[in-house]
Amino acid sequence: MLSFLFIISLMKNKFYILLVSLLSVFAIVFVLRFVIGGDEDTWLCENGEWVKHGQPASDHPSSGCGENKLIGGDKDIHDCLIAAGYSWCSQKEKCLREWEEPCIQEKAFEVLTNLKKETNISFSGIGITSFKWVTNESQTNGKYEPIEKELNGKVFSAENVENKNLKKIDDFFKENSFRSDKYNVATGTYKSLTGYKRENMVCIITTTLTEYDPSNPEKILETTDTTTLKIECGEILE
């Protein structure tokens, strides 16, 4: 009986010794492969070229080796935090957010900021835009042709604006010495355009009937009490 128990105990000890040995070997292989050995089966960028290490599962990366990479994954080469909406302004040599501080067209930014404040209309944040402004007309072969300029400026928009609030916008421009411009007026069934000018500062107001779909202009819509607005402002620079 004692001999049988001794054999059982010896077998258990051998099992534990074998188990410990296997775990030790596995741990040594893991350390050598992933801790000391590093990235063996991968592509590494060395001296501007992709170099294969081990047996990578995929072909070499398609992106350029050694190109400027985003710092921290969400910053540009000027260290501007892209994720927070910052971008580099070379004119001011700093990072900024366009809807808080303009890089250029500061007068247009100021006009839109004041318009939003005085009308209390829920406009979107101020963005960058380009739009056409008709300066005057020229006569060619007895026909009058408009002269258009492509202007860079600032823009914001608002949806579902009650029609009764449109007068607030007209009053704002008139009270701030803007005058309506006869060359920049267009009226349609569902969409209209009005231009205002003060010295070299101009603004275009585009109003569109709510639910109007420009991809289906023939669709008949019922008259509504709300409008979609887009207001663009910029300076005419000679």
Residue-level pLDDT at 112: 95
Range of the domain at 191: 104-235
Report the range of poorest mean pLDDT among 58-67, 166-175, 209-218: 58-67
Q: What is the pLDDT of residues 120-153, one digit of tens each?
A: 999 998 988 999 999 876 656 666 777 889 999 9
Report the percent of the chain where pLDDT is more than 90. 35
| Residue 57 or residue 160, greater confidence | 160
Phi, psi of 189 (to 5 degrees): -65, -45
Amino acid letter for position 175: E
Alpha carbon distance 208, 172 (integer Å): 20
Query: In this structure, is residue 58 part of a structural domain?
Result: no
Rounded CA-CA distance 199/179 in Å is: 10
Task: Choose between 6 and 120: higher pLDDT.
Answer: 120
171 domain residue, yes or no: yes
Q: How far apart are CA 213 and CA 205, in angstroms?
A: 18
Please indicate, yes or no, if residue 222 is contained in any of the structural domains.
Answer: yes
Q: Give the residue from 161, 235, 4 showing the smallest Cα distance to 169.
A: 161
DSSP element (H, E) containing 8:
helix 2-30
In a domain, 50, yes or no: no
pLDDT beyond 90 at 24:
no
3-state secondary structure (DSSP) of residue 7? helix
Q: What's the pLDDT score for residue 190? A: 79
9 domain residue, yes or no? no
Q: Are 98 and 128 in contact (CB under 8 A)?
A: yes
Top mean-pLDDT range of 36-40, 106-110, 145-149: 106-110
Would you say residue 176 has pLDDT above 50? Answer: yes
CA distance 98 to 153: 11
Confirm if 77 and 68 have CB atoms less than 8 A apart. Answer: yes
How many structural domains comprise the chain? 1
Provide the whole-model pTM: 0.60
Position 229 in a domain: yes
- Say if 98 falls within a structural domain: no
Residue 151 lies in a domain: yes
Strand duo 49-53 + 87-89: pairing: unpaired
Q: Which tokens is 90 given? A: 């070379």
Q: Which amino acid is it at 54? A: G
Q: Averaged over 213-232, what is the pLDDT?
A: 77
- Cα–Cα distance for residue pair 58/135, rounded to 1 Å: 58
